[in-house]
Chains A and B, each alone.
Chain A
């Protein structure tokens, strides 16, 4: 039975690889092959990135003979990557799965359901931590001196670290579930806590080089500190370096922690998973709010967005980050000026392309906000409501696009203006940066919606599926990253032909034209397609 349940859990997760969400039919062999090739390419790209990071740490530590410390640093990076990125995914997988009640009604022990859910968490942890750990050990095998025993241990540690990450994510997911069950404004609380995590995450990522350099300068003291204060990590490092005793200790600790976390989770799983959603409020006054159809649809979209922490965090992170970035730039204005001045001495033309730099920074952040992309799939079981009401597909899609633009525009334009002021750009350049940002937000929103209409998935059991685990999201974010980078490359190549202001004006107009084309498609064929879903 357990095998069947685990198979069902993984089939659900990788459903879009085998079943076309558009038609509900099984993909062809070539289609499935293509999906896995695409997945592999992305994984290889990430692996290459972490291989480069391994070089930063390994170059010094391996040559100093401090292999174990190198493995500790990369192990921490793997745990960090695996754990913090998946807390809310774990929470949703463990406690918010739509089929919890259905499975509980069957003669299946709750512990087996928990094992099934945790197996998926383990799979995800394995993927996320492995993408850091595998390149790290490969680097050590290639450039360091390792024994056969160390190679065997390194391979075993791929699975053990994933188990360690599972323990951490399950514990954090449990804390989130516990807090959420006692909160009134739970969505915003979850977002707030997540932002604290993300700020920490981004702080570490942004300062990775300097942190790493400081650590390497104090390698001896750091090593001693880890050995005394974080012995588990010390054992991990030693085990990866080939120490049999350390391997036994780390394995024992990890297995014990996993057993303890499983025991504790199984105690509360049934209670939390079957808790009725929504809080009980006092009767209060029944407020009648009269608005037009268009505003009603927009309000509905906004409620959907603000009711889901997973939605807000995965599709709206940039909305929170952009103002923070702008204020940070304002506070660190002098440092920014010094950096630009320094760059200007090496690259005299840098001052000319600063407006493009502003656009790239702002749009890379705004590109994270794929608010419109999962919105069609999120209609899910509620689709009948819209279809039975006198609202056209065009009105619904328009509300979805408007929400995307309205949520992103203020923070995007604010960041563009503030960054422009900090970099002492002229009024025309600031205006062009802002307009480019507006066109970018519009185009990415419309494109995300287009993907949603073309490839909807209404058969999800957890909303994490359309939000986090869909090809649409991947493509949407890819476009959000690719557009500003391609624009920057184009700006560099055409530097002798156009001034940056002209370049921004021309490419911005092109983006607006593309945005208009996609919007027109949404208004006509897209709306008709939505009506027939």
Chain B
């Protein structure tokens, strides 16, 4: 579903991510962990097509992000760590905008919005201006918008920050459903307990370089993910 091959991204002389290679298969929830500034967001943004990169290749479902960014973006959805959504729209207007861009037909859109907004208890607020939303509400709206066109690959940067426990639980269930129908999830998190319970595979990045990746069992062995992470980071 996602193949990152020798991906390198620099800011001036500094390499933010250096020669990163990852392969995410359909049906996998892939966790991406590392300390602040390790290169997680840079990687996610490049995979989402937000950021251009220097070297390497990113293939989404076999399509090159470099050569065919539009075709790639149709297959993915991205949720940033701090969802700055259009304050000048209402929640429903924003969902309509995203739905129109992805060509989600009216009937499907109505059904999905109802199902997702009910799941996140946001239905009553969808006609309100996004400017009046709290961080958590914006996060929920960003998640609904991401799920609206049923993408094959969902990229999320710290998706659980700002969500209440019930919404976090709902999101975890939704992530598993995406994978069950053949999609994949690639997300970054600092909450190692969540990663340990939720992810099929995990990658640890340090100073822009991949230092460990594989199935959860391969990475953590008999210890906890936290112990491995602290040992590797130390």
Contacts and interface: CB of A to CB of B under 8 A. Distances in A.
Interface of A: 276-284, 286-293, 295-297, 299-300, 303-304, 307-308, 381-382, 384-385, 387-392, 531-532
B131 A278 contact: yes
Contacts of A293: 100-101, 103
Contact of B129 (A279, A304, A389): A279
Given A276-B131, A278-B131, A279-B129, A308 B88 contact: yes
A279 B102 CA distance: 29
B48 interface: yes
B65 to A, nearest CB: 12
A292 B110 CA distance: 17
A280 B127 CA distance: 8
Nearest to B82: A381
A253 B142 CA distance: 54
A389 B128 CA distance: 23
Contacts of B103: 293
Contacts of A296: 96-97, 100-101
27 contacts: A276-B132, A277-B131, A280-B128, A280-B132, A281-B127, A283-B123, A283-B126, A284-B127, A286-B114, A286-B117, A288-B96, A288-B109, A288-B110, A290-B100, A290-B105, A293-B103, A297-B101, A300-B86, A382-B86, A384-B78, A388-B50, A388-B73, A389-B102, A390-B73, A391-B70, A391-B101, A392-B70
- Nearest 7 pairs of A and B residues by beta carbon: A278-B129, A307-B88, A277-B131, A296-B100, A278-B132, A278-B131, A390-B73
B87 interface: yes
Nearest to A277: B131
Contact of A303 (B88, B92, B114): B88
Contact of B127 (A286, A308, A381, A532): A286
Interface string B14-57: 00000000000000000000000000000001001110100000
Interface string B46-88: 0011101000000000000000011101101110100011111
B97 A300 contact: yes
A385 B85 contact: yes
A278 B127 contact: no
Nearest to B110: A288
A292 to B, nearest CB: 7
A96 B58 CA distance: 41
Contact of B73 (A308, A384, A389): A389
Interface string B123-147: 1101111111000000000000000
A278 to B, nearest CB: 3
Nearest to A291: B100
Contacts of B96: 287-290, 296
Contacts of A390: 70-71, 73-74, 101-102
Tell me what chain A mostly uses at the interface: helix, strand, loop, or mixed.
loop
B219 interface: no
B129 A387 contact: no
Interface residues of B, number: 47
B89 interface: yes
B99 interface: yes
Contacts of A381: 84
A303 B89 contact: yes
Contacts of A388: 48-50, 73, 76-78
B191 interface: no
B204 interface: no
A299 B90 CA distance: 13
Contacts of A292: 100
Contacts of B168: none
A390 to B, nearest CB: 4
A447 B88 CA distance: 26
Given A283-B123, A390-B73, 16 more contacts: A276-B132, A280-B128, A287-B96, A288-B113, A290-B96, A292-B100, A296-B96, A304-B86, A304-B88, A381-B84, A384-B45, A385-B86, A388-B77, A389-B101, A390-B102, A392-B70
B102 to A, nearest CB: 7
B208 to A, nearest CB: 21
A277 B132 contact: yes
B93 interface: yes
B12 to A, nearest CB: 11
Contacts of A284: 127
A287 B71 CA distance: 29
